[in-house]
Structure 1
């Protein structure tokens, strides 16, 4: 590719594709420069360093993921919304392993707060959970339960960690059923008014 054709958006998209191919932890500015046929130094006019590139990949992937989740949960509530949310989450994680890994890194809170896609993630996730009648601090606890369950399952599945003959999709469906039951019968913590101050970046 010609050097003149490099833009920040094209650079980040190429880096995200590379992450899916070789793994997020193996993405480097040198590898990216080679894919564009330029010297490493040519990329520094677009990104300051590898950390900025990693953050941009995370923001791109987070936006893509929440777009899919939002489309899946639109017009749904309760268990239907939870099932759709969970399905879109798992599909993205398995289809885009490098991008998904990027969504798990910690992003500077200032950057996070100024990113529409990340705010949308919090809004959709918390909105879905409020349909279960949850308020803070139970909302944050429930978000952490969903995130740890979804991420743990997807990480194990991607790594081939489920050796039993039971179909992994059937077990996933059961896990979502169990989450619905837990959310419906949530052990609410009384005496705490909702603050809205704490939000996890991903479900």
Structure 2
């Protein structure tokens, strides 16, 4: 079967995601994807709406993949253990799929309902894990943002080679998560008073 016979939106997006992981999200071009697939650039337009459409598809795929990992990490765990597992799943995704992860970082266009829903699904996943804490909705959203900020910040610094000391970064991450979890109890205590 020729490469052209297998060409569809899924194969284009998966190929682009693989390239993004190899060369970086910002370096993925239609020419690079077409070359990898063994087709001409115009063939891609039957499956994605140019480079902006391809980047949108990568973001959608990446957000959904990240959400799956967070959900799988939290299954069967309660409260702090579920949050801790999600922290580790987030970092693992950023490490294993760096280009695809990069595609997930921008807030979705509010006019793009499918992308907006995928992003909201991640928020809902984390909110579900936070339910045992009985936070107000506003406090829970702050915690969701905090989880993302901590996990992203650590993963980004790690990817950029920002941890040059010989001290184990895995232990640093575990300690960071522990401090974050202690902070969650502080928020709950303030809400209860």
The TM-score normalised by the length of structure 2 is 0.91
Counterparts of 1:171 and 1:15 in 2: how far apart (Å)? 33
**Residues 112 and 118, structure 1, Cα contact 8 Å, conserved in 2:** no
Q: CA deviation at 1:114?
A: 6.2
5 Å-filtered alignment, 1:21-170, equals 21-112=22-113, 117-170=118-171
Name 2:175's counterpart in structure 1. Answer: 174
Counterparts of 1:31 and 1:141 in 2: how far apart (Å)? 39
**Residues 113 and 119, structure 1, Cα contact 8 Å, conserved in 2:** no
| 1:73-101 deviation per Cα after TM superposition (whole angstroms, max 9, x unaligned) | 11212210111111111111101101111
Bigger drift between 129-138 and 98-107 goes to 129-138
**Residues 90 and 154, structure 1, Cα contact 8 Å, conserved in 2:** yes
More helix by percentage = 2
**SS of the counterpart of 1:13?**
helix
**SS of the counterpart of 2:137?**
coil
Counterparts of 2:127 and 2:114 in 1: how far apart (Å)? 16
Counterparts of 1:32 and 1:22 in 2: how far apart (Å)? 12
What root-mean-square deviation, in Å, do the aligned CA atoms of Structure 1 and Structure 2 show? Answer: 1.9
**SS of the counterpart of 1:178?**
helix
| 1:9-68 deviation per Cα after TM superposition (whole angstroms, max 9, x unaligned) | 110010000100111110011111111222211111111121111111111111112112
Runs of 4+ in structure 1 off by over 3 angstroms are 112-119, 187-190
The count of corresponding residues between Structure 1 and Structure 2 is 190
